[in-house]
Amino acid sequence: MSGLFITLEGGDGVGKSTQAALLETWLTEQGQTVVRTREPGGTDLGAEIRTMVLHRRGHIAPRAEALLYAADRAHHVSTLVRPALERGEVVLQDRYLDSSVAYQGAGRVLGGDEIRDLSLWAAEGLLPDLTVLLDLDETASRARLDSDAKEYDRLEAEAADFHARVRRAFLALADAEPERFLVIDATRSCDDIAAVIQARVRELLG
């Protein structure tokens, strides 16, 4: 595949959507064709799964939740991500398998290795060329979410210890694969963060 696969990761409220929008604009200015997407919800089927896993009222068994995310990922990669990469486009994605390892593997305590294996099977082994991890402690993340004054989804509503486990898992993933991850302090200014990301992406574009 001749395209470039970039994912943005981190806890809730770290600024992934903002940075994805800025990076999309910059890449377009560089003459790149960009496919901006997200998980879950990057396809019609994914939008239905997103509603179930994030907004359904009532309990969802943790293993069922993990399998729903994997189902979304399998369909998303097969029908949208891989075809775009084969066309030589840049896929810019909000969340991917690292989120499953962090949220279901660590947050739900299902085991990071098991969730990673499930995710890789669903995605037929596809890993990003670059994963940008915006790091912010769970207290600051919660303060940002509170300032948005919106209703929490099922994961955002989890307790602080859940989000602490998620953050630790993200950082452990980055430590294990430093060549794939770019870790950025999410308390830095929006422009500073964007500049750091653009510098790394410029290297990848050659």
Expressed as residue numbers, the domain containing 171 is 4-205
Structural domains in the chain (count)? 1
pLDDT tens for each residue of the chain, 206 residues long:
689 999 999 998 899 999 999 999 999 999 999 999 999 999 999 999 999 998 888 899 999 999 999 999 999 999 999 999 999 999 999 999 999 999 999 999 999 999 999 999 999 999 999 999 999 998 887 787 777 656 777 787 778 888 999 999 999 999 999 999 999 999 999 999 999 999 999 999 98
Residue 40: cis peptide before it, omega within 30 degrees of 0: yes
Q: Are 136 and 188 in contact (CB under 8 A)?
A: no
Q: Which of 136, 183, 144, 181 is nearest to 163 (CA)?
A: 136
Residue pair 194/26 in contact (Cβ under 8 Å)? The answer is yes
Rounded to the nearest 10°, the torsion over CA 197, 155, 73, 109 is: 100
pTM score, two decimals? 0.93
Nearest Cα to 103, choosing from 170, 175, 184, 179? 170
Whichever domain contains 65, its CATH number is 3.40.50.300
- 65 Cβ neighbours under 8 A, 6+ residues apart: 53, 104, 108
Res 149: pLDDT: 58
> How high is the pLDDT of residue 148?
67
